[in-house]
Amino acid sequence: MQINRRAAFRHLAGMFGAAPFAALAQDLKDPINVFDFQALAKKKLDPLAWDYLEGGSEDEASLHDNRAGVRNIIIRPRMLVDTHKIDLKTRLLGLDLDYPIILDPAGGKNCFFPMGELEVSRAAGRANALHITNGGIEETLQAGTAAKNWWQLTTGGILTNKPRTKTFVKRLEDQGCKGICFTVDIMHVSHRERDIHNGLERAWCESGLPKRDAAGKLPVAKNPWRTGIYPSKPEPLPTWETLQDLCEATSLPVIVKGIMTAEDGDKCVRYGAKACIVSNHGARQQDHVGGTIEALPEVVKAVNGRIPVLVDGGFRRGTDILKGLALGASAVCIARPYLYGMACFGQAGVERVLELIKVELALNMGLAGVPNMRAIDRSLVRVRVPAL
Ligand SMILES: Cc1cc2nc3c(=O)[nH]c(=O)nc-3n(C[C@H](O)[C@H](O)[C@H](O)COP(=O)(O)O)c2cc1C
């Protein structure tokens, strides 16, 4: 990967303004893993934006469980396998992927970096990654700088109206979109308590955070995130029939994101989805659902090879990705890792994070004796034995 270090430095310098020299001196190559990018992003972002990026809902129990679950899986490396050539290539829903790491959708990118969606779209184009976009990438599509393979996110509001669904899918098909990712775990506004304590106005994450005044205060939010509001919606919410209608309305594969149980994995297949993503929305929606890597095996078992199963939530390292693949995921999606990269260096940061995780994956495949995707199976991992 070629990184334009000067451009990245210019971005950074522009963003830090009068920040101390130590921050300005940060070079794209200084962070050597996702956790370094995480620490740097925390320093760089306004605390409100940081909490929006990093936080989960309520007790953040699932946030903890996503990482703890990954740590609970142990790799069983095999020796004396020739791994002098390591191949990360894979096929997913008819697409040739250079590596099994996908960029998850993330709303509110503009409070981490101006025009964030376009930065990510260009990075995915350069890094040849599959990008699940929240939308608004017409500029990169027209310029030919977007990812070759991209899926459009929908949260389903539009889908309960058939004529609007038709227009929506037609536009995507015409634009060369390769799949529709239907997020099913965001039917109500969750309590993200960091954001509620901070008085965050969610719309700020679309427009970019307003400037703080001389006393360091942000304007008072007109419509801050709140608790104590009974959940209700004016219109009926999407159901499995809505998924079926969407699948019938388009030639594009529909990928359901937000599955945490065997029952729902099976329903994805029966209602026409072409893949599903085991996900708890980065622990930002329903809390206390456990870690996603814990839920992955039951979904894989229920789906039984009928459609690919993907996973996300807490994957930070190449070893983490390897564990997800060994437990039956066809690919692993990431969100916060690339958002850290973007917060620090824009497009170049996203590319660098992808490169670092990709190389870690290849290296650990080499060390574990699995030179390609076919060689990775359930026997590569075990669950940690509890302390005696
Ligand atoms: C800042 C942020 C915004 C997100 N916005 C969306 C969204 O608009 N739609 C969606 O389906 N998931 C959204 N997610 C969830 C991610 O797509 C993904 O499921 C999750 O974050 C993966 O876990 P990870 O961040 O630990 O990699 C968001 C996540 C973050 C961190």
User: What angle (nearest 5°) sits at the alpha carbon of residue 149, between those of residues 147 and 150?
Assistant: 80
Residue 338 in contact with residue 120, Cβ under 8 Å? yes
Residue 207 in contact with residue 110, Cβ under 8 Å? yes
Q: What is the DSSP string of 195-245?
A: HHHHT-BTTHHHH-PPPP-TTSPPPPPSSB--SS-----SSPPP-HHHHHH
Confidence class for position 22, pLDDT limits 50, 70, 90: very low
- Cα 233 from Cα 301, distance rounded (Å): 35
Residue 23 in contact with residue 44, Cβ under 8 Å? yes
Estimate to the nearest angstrom the gap between the alpha carbon of 233 and the chain centroid: 27
Ligand 1 centroid–CA 185 distance in Å is: 11
Residue 79 in contact with residue 308, Cβ under 8 Å? no
281 is known as an active-site residue? yes
Residue 180 in contact with residue 253, Cβ under 8 Å? yes
Does residue 116 line the site of ligand 1, with CB under 6 A? no
Does residue 53 line the site of ligand 1, with CB under 6 A? yes
Q: Is the pLDDT of residue 110 over 90?
A: yes
Does residue 360 line the site of ligand 1, with CB under 6 A? no
Residue located nearest, by CA, to atom 21 of ligand 1: 282
**Ligand 1 atom index nearest CA of 54:** 31
Give the mean pLDDT of the chain: 94
Ligand 1, pocket-test mutation among 284, 292, 310, most atoms within 8 A of CB: 284
Ligand 1 centroid–CA 50 distance in Å is: 14
> What pLDDT sits at residue 137?
98
Residue located nearest, by CA, to atom 20 of ligand 1: 282
Instruction: Give the model confidence (pLDDT) of 333-375 as tens digits.
Output: 999 999 999 999 999 999 999 999 999 999 999 999 999 999 9
Domains parsed from the chain with CATH numbers: 5-211+237-373 (3.20.20.70)
* Cβ atoms < 10 Å from Cβ of 245: 18
